[in-house]
Chains A and B, each alone.
Chain A
């Protein structure tokens, strides 16, 4: 490299007017900054490639026809490769959910906050336990609904109530309600 000649200049007679910020300091800072920016520019796409790819993101909405769901019945759909529970609540289940005192809840939310306005009998939740991601039971006929008549996760014993809210067990939060909207009278679009 050019180090040898630089050193010769610096240690020669030239260093009298190079005290303080020397020309070589500037070259060092400029070179290191340039290399640093270049390295960052190279690393960013290497990090970015790990994020969900376009085809994965393209599958990130799901349409579900809810017209055929009877009160008290649930269906399992797939949303972002994960189970989605869509349940039509019975009037008793709605009453049960509304009776609960919010201060008793670990993650306080009313049923109305968890459903769409005008369709408070349609409960849409992820079928993913908020503890460690197992699929809770209770969506299919005859499965254990837990102590609060909603969902029960068999992995570590989390109990969810009729509004999918965590009531007992290790899960920290209610079953997640994904963003969804009615695209017609009977079809919801999730995501």
Chain B
């Protein structure tokens, strides 16, 4: 699908014509990320992170496949082969540091991508399916990253595996059996390490598959944009290539500067020194913390310190440990119903004054507090702070967003993307680079009057 004015692929040479008849793969690429995909002309740099996330996935798969050529998933040698990669394998240190920091950068990029989705309400109709698939990708990424961190079989690897698999033990009735089944023993050992390696190799390709669905779903309504109003006319869009290939290319350059700086100068900054000590099942590190990208969720897990009881009795309804597990998984699963919680017809946070206040002064500080508390020892004031922030997190999604979307009076929206970009001051020969006033040249969509109001609902 595409807009009516999308350019069509026209093979030029005999060979490309022959290919196009047998397997129109070049046509697919042309329509997906080439000149055949019209994209809103007003995308800002927050729209770079989808392409960057795709780059990170490829980077992780390439470096990961290389590391797997030198690594052995056996508790006897896993730690040693990791050191072998660092010391003996040609450029092994580079591959491993690129892979370890690549995981961190993948999460940075994904978090900014999710941030963009939350601020500009990219999850709203008609783009719910893109958002839902994105949440699936995020869950798969978390599982993949967790299992990858276990592979070097250092202290943090082992104890991280023990704590995270221990979460399943909190499930009533079947928890303990489930945990033993998942780990293949009574504690993480060779069986666990091997299956984690196997799944860590498999899941990125599953992610790649869901990414294809994610992009497919995106190309049905087309990209959203910072105004949140839909594309109405040809002058609202530019072809993806060369306009956004160039813009994304610039973003990729900036990303690579930051990434290579970390790989070459601060390769261990985001890791834990304890993971350079080989796993020891009889000795727990003083402070077990997950990788930085899991800290907010770890804070939610640890925020529950008391059992849920029937008031004024000591009858326990849900144990504290299970509450923490439910809340931690719930904090991400709540994203699955987000498109139906936020009913405001206006998408972009720019035009939603009340939403904007709660977002910047409520949600963002809440995430920062959770991030800090997740890495702090389990003592006051961090416990209380993480409890308050956890409560706010769920309030934001389950109470504040639905209420705000009912009572908020949005600011007036521009008539079109073109108007939002060029404004009323635009004159022929003005900033759009063309000779004619684009508003005079625009053609309305069939069946729609060009004056159908300034407030365009999402549906």
Query: Which A residues form the contact surface with B (CB < 8 A)?
Result: 50-53, 56, 60, 76, 78, 80-83, 127, 131-135, 154-157, 170-172
Contact = CB atoms under 8 A, between A and B. Distances in A.
A81 B320 contact: no
A81 B186 contact: yes
Contacts of B287: 155
Contacts of B378: 155-157, 170
A53 B304 CA distance: 35
Interface string B170-187: 000000000011101111
Chain A interface, >50% SS class: loop
A81 B185 contact: yes
Contact of B180 (A52, A131, A132): A52
B282 interface: yes
Given A82-B281, A132-B162, A157-B379, 18 more contacts: A52-B180, A53-B191, A56-B189, A80-B186, A81-B185, A81-B187, A81-B189, A83-B281, A132-B288, A132-B321, A133-B166, A134-B288, A135-B283, A135-B284, A154-B286, A156-B378, A172-B319, A172-B321
Closest 4 CB pairs of A and B: A80-B186, A134-B284, A133-B166, A156-B378
Contacts of B159: 134
Nearest to A155: B288
Contacts of B439: none
B282 A76 contact: yes
Nearest to A158: B378
Contacts of A133: 162-163, 166, 187
Contact of B181 (A50, A60, A134, A154): A50
Interface in B271-306: 281-284, 286-288, 302, 304-305
A49 B244 CA distance: 48
A172 B320 contact: yes
Contacts of B319: 172
Nearest to B167: A132
Contacts of B185: 52, 56, 80-81
B230 interface: no
B163 to A, nearest CB: 5
Contacts of B166: 132-133
B182 A50 contact: yes
B321 A56 contact: no
A131 B321 contact: yes
B195 interface: yes
Nearest to A172: B319
Contacts of B186: 52, 56, 60, 80-82
B125 to A, nearest CB: 36
B32 to A, nearest CB: 35
Interface in B303-317: 304-305, 307
Interface of B: 159, 162-163, 166-167, 180-182, 184-187, 189, 191, 195, 281-284, 286-288, 302, 304-305, 307, 319-321, 378-379
Contacts of A50: 181-182, 184, 195
A134 B159 CA distance: 8
B440 to A, nearest CB: 59
Contacts of B307: 172
A50 B288 CA distance: 27
Contacts of A82: 186-187, 281
Nearest to B324: A170
11 contacts: A52-B184, A78-B281, A81-B187, A83-B281, A133-B163, A134-B288, A135-B282, A155-B284, A157-B378, A170-B320, A172-B319
A52 B162 contact: no
Given A50-B182, A56-B184, A82-B186, A170 B163 contact: no
A80 B284 contact: no
A108 B180 CA distance: 26
A51 B180 contact: yes
A174 to B, nearest CB: 13
A171 B170 CA distance: 11
Given A53-B184, A81-B281, A170-B321, A132 B189 contact: no
A13 to B, nearest CB: 45
B242 to A, nearest CB: 49
Contacts of B320: 170, 172
B163 A51 contact: no
A127 to B, nearest CB: 8
Nearest to B163: A132
A107 to B, nearest CB: 10
A156 B302 contact: yes
Contacts of A76: 282
Contacts of A51: 180-181, 184
Contacts of A171: 321
A113 B305 CA distance: 27
A134 B319 CA distance: 18
A155 B284 CA distance: 8
A78 B186 CA distance: 12
B300 to A, nearest CB: 14
A164 B186 CA distance: 20
Nearest to B164: A132
Nearest to A129: B284
Given A53-B184, A80-B186, A134-B159, A154 B282 contact: no
Nearest to B307: A172
